[in-house]
Amino acid sequence: MKLNSTLDSIAKPFSGLAPWILRLSLGVAFFLHGYGKFPLPPEKMVNWFGSIGIPAPELVSSMVAIGEVSAGIGIIIGGLLGSSLGHLVTRIAGGAVVVIMGGAFFIAHSDWFITAKLFTSEQIFLFALGIYFAIKGND
């Protein structure tokens, strides 16, 4: 009990930072994943989407890149906006992360479902953080 009280007193001044650690990790990671696909359309992704039969691969791959950049920025900006608008922006951006990661699992990593590969990749954490912010917003 004393150890728990000691840890509480050490951690308490930093408790406001905890959501920001998650927010910045997800926001920056998603921004960088999307930004790395520029200039549009991302040729490697277009070629791969085309090879697996995704319709309009130039459009879809460009939308993925823009969606990743926008969701990353939205997660961060939503936290800075502290109002009901910020709450909404955070929840929409979190939902976008969930949709994009769901698409990535379905299209690129369908063999990962409920396997060790899924739970040893960073994708599961991006997905989980997206769910967290879609549900919690700025609360």
pLDDT digits (tens, 9 = 90+) for 33-80: 999 999 999 999 999 999 999 999 999 999 999 999 999 999 999 999
Residue-level pLDDT at 74: 98
Closest CA to 78 of 15, 37, 12, 132: 132
**Lookup result for tokens 């790395």:** 36
pLDDT category at 22 given cuts 50, 70, 90 is: very high
The C-alpha torsion from 67 through 88 and 26 to 51, rounded to 10°, is -20
pLDDT at 87 over 90: yes
pLDDT category at 111 given cuts 50, 70, 90 is: confident
Q: What CA–CA distance (Å, rounded) separates 124 from 120?
A: 8
Question: For residue 133, what are the contacts with CB-CB under 8 A and spacing of at least 6?
Answer: 22, 23, 26, 75, 78, 90, 91, 93, 94, 97
pLDDT category at 123 given cuts 50, 70, 90 is: confident
**Lookup result for tokens 């906006």:** 81
Q: What CA–CA distance (Å, rounded) separates 126 from 40?
A: 23
Domain ranges of the chain: 17-136
Q: Above pLDDT 90, what percent of the chain?
A: 82
